[in-house]
Amino acid sequence: MNLKRLEAFYWAAKLGSCSKAAERLLVTQPAVTMQIRELERYYQVHLFSRTGGHIELTEAGKALFSYAERIFGLAEEAEEMLRHFSKERREILRLGATRTYAKYILPPLISLFQRENPGVRVVLKEGGSLQLLEELMAMRQDLVIAAPPRVPKKVRSLPFRQEEVFLVVSKNHPWFGRRQVGIRELEEQTLVVREKGSATRSAVSKLFKKYRLKPTVSLEGEDAEFIKEMLKDGDKISFFVLPSIRKEMEEGWLKPLRLVEERILLEVRVFFLEEDSLPPPAKGFLKVLLGEGQLLSSKKGRLEQPPLALGSGP
């Protein structure tokens, strides 16, 4: 069915006048009349009876009007739904990040963004890298900051920064006075690890596999604070990136150590679906990252970041 003809009929029936329907549709009255007549001619029915300058619906017209009312009612609901989503895309930034970045890296950047965009509400979701990428693919996140072990082909990304993963011990551990450790020494230690799917866990597992190590794993946890607590007695070790232990390093009870043989590096990236379809808040947050010098142009293709300062570390 020709929807333009149906629309002309619908508004003429609803307003009781072809001239009022023409005003509503921003066309001439003869145009409305012609559309209705074409509809009647095509289906060989009379939709209106005209008496004394008034139009009334026939039985066929009443039946058609009930369908048209539902059709254009649904169209109005669909339009309202799209307006809602359009407004949400202008007013909400849906941001996903790994737990370390959500807690230690992003807060000052989000505060800067909100000072420049006071009308935007930020919804921050913490989680594992793979879980967050699944949410991005399902369009439940606008941007995801993570270092996943593998990336879906449909997802695009830009480099954000590079993190080094350190072996970490407490002040009660015999290695606290050292600066580095041989990788074979890890076989004699009890390890506390992050949950499966985390970037740190994946990077460390690859290293163990490369050197054919099978250290003793006593605990596995999602919460960094829980893992830190488990290190206090000095009989366990773990692996962290520096931002997540900065406070404990300053307090002097946790220390990062490098491995003698090689460094463990994570490339943290900002993931999104399509740059052209990013909502305005997401584009604005990328600008904040660019302004802070954290996110690099994809044209450069490499990370340009100063060497990690370890201070009084190893």
**Contact (CB, 8 A) for 127 and 99:** yes
Per-residue model confidence (pLDDT) at position 213: 87
Instruction: Domains for the chain: give ranges and CATH numbers.
Output: 3-88 (1.10.10.10), 90-161+273-291 (3.40.190.10), 162-265 (3.40.190.290)
Answer with the residue of higher pLDDT: 219 or 64. 64
Question: What distances in angstroms separate CA 122 from CA 111, 252, 272, one per listed residue?
Answer: 10, 34, 16
What's the rounded mean pLDDT across residues 150-159? 83
**Contact (CB, 8 A) for 281 and 91:** yes
What's the rounded mean pLDDT across residues 216-233? 87
Per-residue model confidence (pLDDT) at position 90: 63
The share of the chain scoring above pLDDT 90, in percent, equals: 33
Q: Is the pLDDT of residue 124 over 90?
A: yes
Please write the tens of the pLDDT for every residue from 189-207: 999 988 877 788 888 888 8
* Measured distance CA(308)–CA(291) in Å, rounded: 20
Q: What is the mean pLDDT of the chain?
A: 83
Please write the tens of the pLDDT for every residue from 9-61: 889 888 888 888 899 888 999 999 999 999 989 999 999 887 766 788 999 98
Q: Is the pLDDT of residue 89 over 80?
A: no
Per-residue model confidence (pLDDT) at position 298: 40
Per-residue model confidence (pLDDT) at position 306: 34
Among candidates 64, 119, 105, which has minimal Cα distance to 280? 119
Per-residue model confidence (pLDDT) at position 82: 64
* Measured distance CA(215)–CA(150) in Å, rounded: 24
**Contact (CB, 8 A) for 36 and 9:** yes
Per-residue model confidence (pLDDT) at position 239: 93
Q: Is the pLDDT of residue 96 over 90?
A: yes
Please write the tens of the pLDDT for every residue from 252-279: 999 999 999 989 998 888 999 887 778 8
Per-residue model confidence (pLDDT) at position 311: 34
Per-residue model confidence (pLDDT) at position 83: 66
* Measured distance CA(198)–CA(266) in Å, rounded: 11
* Measured distance CA(225)–CA(144) in Å, rounded: 23
Work out the pLDDT band at 302, boundaries 50, 70, 90. Answer: very low
Per-residue model confidence (pLDDT) at position 291: 66
